[in-house]
Amino acid sequence: MPSATAVTAITSTLVVGESYGGLAFALNLLNLCAAMPARLLPDTLEKPAPSSRISIPIEIKIIGERDGYSLTYSSNLDHLIRSPLSFSSPNFLQGSVNNIDCERKVATGGFPDPSSALRQAYPYAAQVSAHIEKVKNARDEVVVIGGAELKLVQPSQKVIFIHSREELLSSEPLPTEFKERALATIRDIRVEVILNERVTSITPCDSSDGSQSSKLTFKDGRYITTGHVIWALSKCVATLSYLTVSSLDAANYVTVEPTLKFAKSNPNSKFHYAVGDIASWSGIRRCGGAMYMGFTGAINRTKLHRSLRVSGDVGSCYAVTYWPGDGVASGEDPMKWYFGDDLGFTKFHLGLSTFAGGEHNWL
């Protein structure tokens, strides 16, 4: 048997958010509690010690508003869910969370682990199809205000990228050399870049062939005509209205310790973790960092589970036996002779618990 199961109650964990951080946390926690290596464990890191190879019963529930994960993976998971290989956890629930009481731990009696990322202002799934068609069918060039990834998926379309600052990635904590290299790379893929210009108005107009176009006017009075305009200036906001104000910093991110636990000023802080974009952390918020935070949070959460675990060790086992001619015996040795370490299962199937006459001694 690869692992033993600790004698303890099932621990219920609620993960709010099904993005990179939340899924990384849930899947790594599932592995670690099953006495398996973490999913993101580098080969260079030390493997778990034998003393930690005891599985911990756990129930993980993941709740989120979107159906993106289910839409992508459910057809494949559906075959597994109905098979003996399936896990009873994690469970996915589509919905929203209105309130989490950290002091009472009201979320199914478990440990809420917010990882609900940031809310994007635009676009959502229902708007994407029409948006893509407009880009494909644009007669003139496409103007992107705030981002230019479009050129990678629509290479045949002329793309103009407008940014109001003097350099790219102006709000990111990156060196000037990096930003200059990013600008050169964008121009290498034939994206026209206009820097330090702000669009003051966009007016619908008709092009020479009768198709719909737009006239963009800049602050200095210049203008260009384009077939389609994409605004990529939406500001991400943290989706943490379900937490108390004391849990958040001035920018509405969760204040955390280096272990990713809630700050000690919060009730039951050692039981609650924040991973991914919602954590008040330095650096650029990207999926790789969110997944690593989920990995780290899962390791620290597993350590917490093991520190709280009631030992599954039991004392010595004894048996009282009787055999005609030998009389009554008791102690550890009779227990081993009659039952072994599997309640006599092996002896029965090897025929070692059978009378010569063929009648079974059921012990």
* Boundary residue ending a domain (210, 231, 252): 231
First-to-final CA distance of the chain: 25
In total, how many domains does the chain have? 3
Boundaries of domain holding 133: 125-231
| Three-state secondary structure string covering the chain | CCCEECCCCCEEEEEECCCHHHHHHHHHHHHHHCCCCCCCCCCCCCCCCHHHCEECCEEEEEEECCCHHHHHHHHHHHHHHCCCCCCCCCEEEECCCCCCCCCCCCCCCCEEEECCCEECCCCCHHHHHHHHHHHHCCCCCEEEECCCCHHHHCCCCCEEEEECCCCCCCCCCCCHHHHHHHHHHHHHCCEEEEECCCEEEEEEEECCCCCEEEEEEECCCCEEEECEEEECCCCCEECCCCCCHHHECCCCCECECCCCEECCCCCCHHHCECCHHHECCCCCCCHHHHHHHHHHHHHHHHHHHHHHCCCCCCCCCCEEEEECCCEEEEEHHHHHHHHCCCCCHHHHHCCCCECCCCCECCC
Q: Judge if 241 and 113 occupy the same domain.
A: yes
Q: Judge if 47 and 115 occupy the same domain.
A: yes
Question: Could you tell me the pLDDT band of residue 282, with boundaries at 50, 70 and 90?
Answer: confident
CATH number for position 50: 3.50.50.60
Q: Judge if 246 and 116 occupy the same domain.
A: yes
Q: Judge if 245 and 303 occupy the same domain.
A: yes
Residues of the chain with pLDDT > 90, as a percent, come to 2
Q: How is residue 78 written in tokens?
A: 């559906």
Question: Could you tell me the pLDDT band of residue 6, with boundaries at 50, 70 and 90?
Answer: very low
Question: Could you tell me the pLDDT band of residue 351, with boundaries at 50, 70 and 90?
Answer: low
* Boundary residue ending a domain (200, 231, 262): 231
118 pLDDT more than 60: no
Q: Judge if 195 and 331 occupy the same domain.
A: no
pTM assigned to the model: 0.57
Average pLDDT over residues 36-64: 69
- Could you read off the pLDDT of 295-337 as tens digits, one per residue? 999 989 888 877 776 555 555 677 777 777 777 888 888 777 7
Q: Judge if 208 and 349 occupy the same domain.
A: no
* Boundary residue ending a domain (175, 200, 231): 231
Average pLDDT, the chain: 72
7 pLDDT more than 50: no
Q: Judge if 165 and 21 occupy the same domain.
A: no
42 pLDDT more than 70: no
Q: How is residue 169 written in tokens?
A: 């990635």
Q: Judge if 9 and 111 occupy the same domain.
A: yes
Query: pLDDT value at position 181?
Result: 92
Average pLDDT over residues 176-199: 88
Q: Judge if 284 and 362 occupy the same domain.
A: no
Q: Judge if 282 and 354 occupy the same domain.
A: no
Q: Judge if 85 and 8 occupy the same domain.
A: yes
Q: Of 36-50, 106-120, 121-135, 225-239, which has the strongest mean pLDDT?
A: 225-239
Listed range (17-21, 25-29, 82-86, 225-229) with the worst mean pLDDT: 82-86
Q: Judge if 223 and 260 occupy the same domain.
A: no
